Homo-oligomer: A and B are copies of this chain.
Amino acid sequence: MKRKIRMGMVGGGPGSFIGAVHRMAANLDGQIELVCGCFSSSPAKSLETGRSLFLPEDRIYATYQEMMEREAALPEGERMDFVSIVTPNDMHFAPAMLALEKGFDVAMDKPMTYSLDEANQLRDKVKESGRLLLLTHTYTGYPMVKEARERVRRGDLGKIRLVYVEYPQGWLYTDCSATNKQAAWRVDPKRSGKAGCMGDIGTHAFNLAEYITGLRTEALCGELHTFVPDRLLDDDGAALLRYEGGARGVLMASQVAISQENSLSIRVYGEKGGLEWHQEEPNTLLMLWPDRQPEVIRTGGAGLSACATANTRTPAGHPEGYLEAFANLYRHFAATLQARLAGEEPRPEDLDFPSVEEGVRGMQFIEAIVSTNSSNQKWILLTD
């Protein structure tokens, strides 16, 4: 008999934002059950969180090392199948490496690691271990983002010329690190890495553009800014982009664009057509044509690709949101794990989730954008 996929969690204790999101996303489709966790570096807080999640106490751990150790010792069908890592950036690498060593698959938040060097090591470890890695670039889970990629892929837009991608936020427009736990670690270079805004959300914008266009960024020329006094990392930035094949792009990301929430958007223009998508109204995709009227594509609407449809849960007119997009990543990841349990090949559509390559790519982007900022040279190459 088939069973649910079993998830453990590292991080996601009191005050965590993204931990709860990962749990809801994993819950939604009834394919995954949370069986254990180490939710905080404080054992008491870990216990408190685990209990509130109805976990038995012997599956609530004080350290992630203990968790990996003891779960690995449990029999198949009881032990967790994979671990979700939802800690700040500096605590991604070590638990991920240990999990892979112990034979667990890994889901983890972005950016993948603290540094490019860690990212490269993790890529090697994934290859070596043969385990799966899910990197939660959430926005690629939206049906209309998948539709956009399909439309580009099948040539509706012709050769791509222009990409405008932006992610303005405003919540860090002033210094709130003393009172806001989410802010505190994001503006701390010891926990966040070399980049602040660009690491946190610039990587999302970068990833979205490469995902939809299928083009690799070759070089960039940009500038980072720190508008809030005494902040140690960038809270704003922009870059001109050069894509393979000659397309040009502009990427903007900010955490001081006052009142902006998660206003991620992308516009792509090709030789034959264009498209627009905005994360805050995610169920609409605008298709643009030179010689006929724009089309308003809607989640669940007529004439969508198989891929968009497979990532939609309800008929048109029932808005799907961020959690559904997130859940799409987990659903595909779980389906791939189920296929392995059943000794079957995973379906290609289930392999459509961001993984370690996208993670390395994001870290390359961070390296390049930090490098261009301090350089008088106009263009910086993104290197593999």
**A residues in contact (CB < 8 Å) with B:** 1-4, 17, 20-21, 23-24, 27-30, 34, 51, 53-54, 161-162, 164, 166, 168-171, 173-174, 221-223, 225, 227, 236, 238, 240, 248, 250, 252, 254, 256-263, 267, 269-274, 279-283, 286-298, 300-303, 313-324, 375-378
Contact = CB atoms under 8 A, between A and B. Distances in A.
A252 B248 CA distance: 11
A273 B258 contact: yes
A114 to B, nearest CB: 24
B295 A170 contact: no
Contact of A170 (B30, B259, B274): B274
A287 B161 CA distance: 29
A174 B267 CA distance: 19
Contacts of A375: 378
Number of copies: 4
Given A34-B30, A282-B319, A161 B54 contact: no
Given A223-B248, A261-B318, A296-B296, 5 more contacts: A164-B252, A174-B290, A256-B269, A259-B274, A323-B324
Interface of A is mostly: loop
B17 A261 contact: no
Most buried by B among A3, A171, A274, A291: A274
Contacts of A256: 161-162, 269
Contact of A28 (B262, B281, B322, B323): B323
A51 B301 CA distance: 30
30 contacts: A1-B54, A20-B313, A27-B27, A27-B29, A28-B28, A161-B236, A161-B256, A164-B166, A168-B267, A169-B317, A173-B271, A174-B290, A225-B248, A238-B240, A250-B250, A258-B270, A258-B274, A261-B300, A263-B317, A280-B317, A283-B321, A292-B303, A293-B298, A294-B296, A295-B295, A296-B296, A319-B319, A319-B321, A321-B321, A321-B323
